[in-house]
A and B are shown apart, each in its own frame.
Chain A
């Protein structure tokens, strides 16, 4: 992992198309701006990880494991 130290106001480039802005530090939080092409999805990592795990678990299903709920009136 590359570790860089930046001050508020400074920026990082990821390739030619993604720019990370370190905006300000407020207490324990860092406000980060992300400039990227519209097509690039941006996620809080914990959400991304949770969704990836659910996707992988769902993809593990065999054809026989899906239930059919009893028909409703």
Chain B
């Protein structure tokens, strides 16, 4: 068990089995140890929180919450590097970038995060049509004219 002093969430107790090792960190952000935090059981977003930097945390979500046709394919080299041959064996999350309005929210479908066996890797998705900046609420907007934003 370890405690971190998160700049967003205050003191957090992290059980050892909740620690996720990212051998090569997140692309461009570094860090090697993270954990997933859910602040609200009913919300689809989690925070991938660094255990090495208390101010570093990234909102993530399961891509299928918002993108029914999301697929992930990785090269043989990537599969070998991360030790996962079938992405369906891993938990898949994508980072979410917030914006001024709900319509500005974007998910990175091009570089999903795969978590398996206590290890995480951000990989490059080779499936076609997966944008690095996909509008998060495009399908929701199409189905329901008024998605609500809660501050």
Contacts and interface: CB of A to CB of B under 8 A. Distances in A.
Interface stretch (A2-10, A11-19, A25-33, A47-55): A47-55
Interface in A37-73: 38-43, 47-70, 72
Interface residues of B, number: 46
Q: How extensive is the interface on chain A, given as a class? A: 20 to 34
A48 B146 contact: no
Contact of B95 (A39, A40, A50, A54): A54
Contacts of A48: 27-28
Contacts of B98: 58, 60-61, 65-66
Nearest to A59: B58
B118 interface: no
Nearest to B55: A59
Nearest to A44: B124
Contact of B39 (A51, A56, A62, A63): A63
B97 A57 contact: yes
The dominant DSSP class at the B interface is loop
A51 B148 contact: no
Contacts of B111: 47, 51, 54-55
B132 A54 contact: yes
Nearest to B26: A55
Interface in B107-151: 108, 110-111, 122, 124, 132-133, 137, 140, 143-144, 146-151
B67 interface: no
A51 B27 contact: yes
A43 B8 CA distance: 32
Contact of A70 (B42, B59, B147): B147
A72 B59 contact: no
Nearest to B148: A70
Given A63-B9, A68-B43, 14 more contacts: A41-B78, A43-B27, A54-B106, A55-B27, A58-B97, A59-B57, A59-B58, A61-B59, A66-B43, A66-B59, A67-B105, A68-B148, A68-B149, A70-B144
Interface of A: 38-43, 47-70, 72
